[in-house]
A and B are shown apart, each in its own frame.
Chain A
Amino acid sequence: MRLLADAVEVRYRGLADPVLRGATVEVVRGETVAVLGPSGSGKSTLLAVLGGLVRPTNGTVRVDIDGSAAPRPTDVTTWILQTTNVFSERTALDNVAVAALTLGVSLREAYLVAARHLAAVGLFDRRNSLARHLSGGEVQRVVIARALASRRPFILADEPTGQLDHATTCVVLDALFEAVDESAALIVATHDPTVAERCERVVHIVDGRIVPER
């Protein structure tokens, strides 16, 4: 399964210049890709286009599967956003379990899976805390656990460790990279060189244009 952005151009209403200018990216299931670039260069926009949240002005985004009907990008991607985005009045466990429930598993199974993924990001003990009582870094780990629990083939992570200290960053990255090693792809927009180093491939984006490397 491949996720393809082909010569994508994105213009936002009210902006004179396009934010993405003919960006072409291909991500194969199982690989890890870092998207690096200066602030405002279009990293978040590229992720949004790949995830089907933003419709490209020109060019196409599609999912390729050998010999079977292609799902929409929104159905194969999951998000770890630059800003934390959780149900703040619900527990950490509830937040993660919702993602598992989208797979149609039983309630019991969804909560077991959720507990396992919370344990993997070091939050097993906080599983029954309301999300609004967690620190920014803890919430970000809940979001990562949730992305893993959704079992989607492409995880789009927008600065997933931006709010974490060094030790926590290591815990979280371990969990993240362990989860994607066989069956999922990770596309991570980041400024953090340690994140980029752990990825198999780095895509540089400058001024809305992609400069492949390595």
Chain B
Amino acid sequence: MIAGSLSRRHTQASRRHKKARGTTRWRAASSLREGYLNVVAGGPFFCALLAIVAAVTATLITADLATVHRIVARESAFLRAGGDLLVVQRANDHIDARVCARVNAVAGVRTAFALSADVDGAVLAGRPDSHQTLAYATEGILRLYGLPYPGADGVIISKSIAERWQWRPGAVLAFTPSSGTARPLPTRPLRVAAIADLAKLGDAESTAILLLQPARGNADFCFVQIRPQDREILRSVLPAVFGDRAEARIQVSDVLPPAGQGGDPASEFRNRLTSDVSLMAGALIGLLWGVVTWMRRGRSALYASLGVPYAGGVLIRWTEGALVIGLGVLWGTTLAIAVATAVTDAAASQAIDLGVRHGLVAMTVALAMVALTGLWQPATLAALKERQ
């Protein structure tokens, strides 16, 4: 029978076994195995703990991802509306369009273009009562709107004009000069090359038809699209570029006042309340594990009373903690990133980048606390007797 063959093998095993009598030679591998088996055996309890750890991690990290998403979304809406535009003008005088074109070479400048408006500068051919504002810009404006070169007879029209006349790209139009025309008008037929949000350049431009103009002569304004982080330095540099003179000062102003946006996004990002959520998550989870360790002290005492050395017991507790806490934080972080990208349509790379950093911090803090609590071993007899 089984018993017969078993007992023969057991006799061999036990002969070797007997040599070891009275000494403790617990292996590290046994600790890893015990820790793993305890987690598996503790099924429902550890599943619940894993879920709590994941929920805490996911909730806190999601809170910060949502906050950052709000800040970033508000900032990009601000920039889209013209928040990254500076406008340069000279008091009671014109600026030089050629100088404006040269600003493109300044570090921190994304694009720069000269702009002039000719209010009611033309009448549309075939519509005698239309008073049409014309705008003239140098080609740097194409980079602001991300447009290709429109061709010699191409014009860019504002959204409201496109709506009013029902024009689409490709529509053909022609001007007849009006009484107030300040510049020579092209007399050939023109073609609508693109429709753009010209309103952010100013009120006059919101109903304008825009024509490209070579960079020479005078212009009313120079628009400068900047990298937001270079705003201050460019504000101080630009007057010198244009030649600031006492009798005709160069004024540099924001197209949109940043103060109207509820503060500077960079400092809002730095000072947000949720920036330390991962520390909190890690600490909370570490404390939770501390409670679990205390609840399981009888088990630690039992291992010790069986002859598992202190280091072996520590390694068992570390294995259990690393498995449950590690998996829980990993799960929670993944969940937070998935939720943030799915629900807030945030750029995935931004959510992943910040989420992973939060996850790493939470993991480090939680595992450090697991490591610390694992060092604690209860007084053996007290813990064993509590089971009575």
- Cβ contact within 8 Å between A150 and B20: no
A183 part of interface (Cβ distance < 8 Å): yes
B14 part of interface (Cβ distance < 8 Å): yes
Chain B contacts with A in 344-388, Cβ cutoff 8 A: 380-381, 384, 387-388
| Given A115-B6, A150-B307, A103 contacting B14 (CB threshold 8 A) | no
Chain A contacts with B in 67-110, Cβ cutoff 8 A: 71, 75-76, 78-79, 81-83, 85-87, 89-90, 94, 98-105, 107, 109
Q: A153 vs B43: C-alpha distance in the bound complex, in angstroms?
A: 36
- Cβ contact within 8 Å between A104 and B26: yes
- Cβ contact within 8 Å between A98 and B22: no
**Can you offer 5 A-B residue contacts whose CB atoms are under 8 A?**
A1-B22, A90-B37, A98-B34, A112-B13, A115-B10
- Cβ contact within 8 Å between B384 and A105: no
- Cβ contact within 8 Å between A119 and B307: no
On A, residues with C-beta under 8 Å from B are 1, 48, 53-54, 71, 75-76, 78-79, 81-83, 85-87, 89-90, 94, 98-105, 107, 109, 112-113, 115-116, 119, 124, 130, 146, 150-153, 183
| Given A75-B24, A98-B308, A112-B13, A87 contacting B299 (CB threshold 8 A) | yes
B25 part of interface (Cβ distance < 8 Å): yes
Q: Work out how many contacts link A and B, with CB atoms closer than 8 A.
A: 114
Q: What are the interface flags for B1-32 relative to A under an 8 Å C-beta threshold, 1 for contact and 0 otherwise?
A: 00100110110011011101111111101100
- Cβ contact within 8 Å between A100 and B18: no
Partner of B14, one of A79, A102, A116: A116
Q: A53 vs B298: C-alpha distance in the bound complex, in angstroms?
A: 14
B33 part of interface (Cβ distance < 8 Å): yes
List B contacts of A119 (CB < 8 A). 3, 6-7
Question: Which residue of chain B has its CB nearest to the CB of A48?
Answer: B381
List A contacts of B303 (CB < 8 A). 98
Shortest CB-to-CB span from A103 to chain B, Å, is 4
Question: Which residue of chain A has its CB nearest to the CB of B388?
Answer: A83
Q: A119 vs B41: C-alpha distance in the bound complex, in angstroms?
A: 24
List B contacts of A113 (CB < 8 A). 10, 13-14, 17
Question: Which residue of chain A has its CB nearest to the CB of B304?
Answer: A74
| Given A71-B22, A104-B27, A152-B22, A124 contacting B3 (CB threshold 8 A) | yes
Shortest CB-to-CB span from B65 to chain A, Å, is 37
- Cβ contact within 8 Å between A109 and B13: yes
Partner of A78, one of B3, B33, B37, B307: B307
Partner of A183, one of B16, B18, B37: B18
B38 part of interface (Cβ distance < 8 Å): yes
- Cβ contact within 8 Å between B22 and A87: no
Q: What are the interface flags for B183-210 relative to A under an 8 Å C-beta threshold, 1 for contact and 0 otherwise?
A: 0000000000000000000000000000
Partner of A85, one of B14, B16, B17, B387: B387
- Cβ contact within 8 Å between B20 and A53: no
Shortest CB-to-CB span from B384 to chain A, Å, is 6
Q: A102 vs B16: C-alpha distance in the bound complex, in angstroms?
A: 14
Question: Which residue of chain A has its CB nearest to the CB of B306?
Answer: A99
- Cβ contact within 8 Å between B17 and A87: no
List B contacts of A150 (CB < 8 A). 306-307
Q: A90 vs B33: C-alpha distance in the bound complex, in angstroms?
A: 13
Q: A99 vs B21: C-alpha distance in the bound complex, in angstroms?
A: 12
Shortest CB-to-CB span from B144 to chain A, Å, is 67
Q: A183 vs B18: C-alpha distance in the bound complex, in angstroms?
A: 9
List A contacts of B24 (CB < 8 A). 75, 102-104
List B contacts of A112 (CB < 8 A). 6, 9-10, 13
Q: A78 vs B303: C-alpha distance in the bound complex, in angstroms?
A: 11
Shortest CB-to-CB span from B296 to chain A, Å, is 11
Q: A1 vs B20: C-alpha distance in the bound complex, in angstroms?
A: 15
Q: A4 vs B368: C-alpha distance in the bound complex, in angstroms?
A: 43
Shortest CB-to-CB span from B320 to chain A, Å, is 12
- Cβ contact within 8 Å between B381 and A152: no
| Given A98-B308, A116-B6, A75 contacting B23 (CB threshold 8 A) | yes
Q: A116 vs B305: C-alpha distance in the bound complex, in angstroms?
A: 22
Shortest CB-to-CB span from B153 to chain A, Å, is 83
| Given A113-B14, A152-B21, A146 contacting B306 (CB threshold 8 A) | yes
| Given A53-B305, A79-B305, A94-B37, A103 contacting B384 (CB threshold 8 A) | no
List A contacts of B23 (CB < 8 A). 71, 75, 103
| Given A90-B41, A116-B10, A99 contacting B16 (CB threshold 8 A) | no
List B contacts of A78 (CB < 8 A). 305-307
List A contacts of B260 (CB < 8 A). none
List A contacts of B72 (CB < 8 A). none
Shortest CB-to-CB span from B342 to chain A, Å, is 37
- Cβ contact within 8 Å between B17 and A103: yes
| Given A113-B17, A152-B21, A54 contacting B10 (CB threshold 8 A) | no
- Cβ contact within 8 Å between A53 and B380: yes
List B contacts of A130 (CB < 8 A). 41
Task: Add 5 more A-B contacts to A89-B38, A104-B26 (CB < 8 A).
Answer: A85-B387, A101-B30, A116-B14, A150-B306, A150-B307
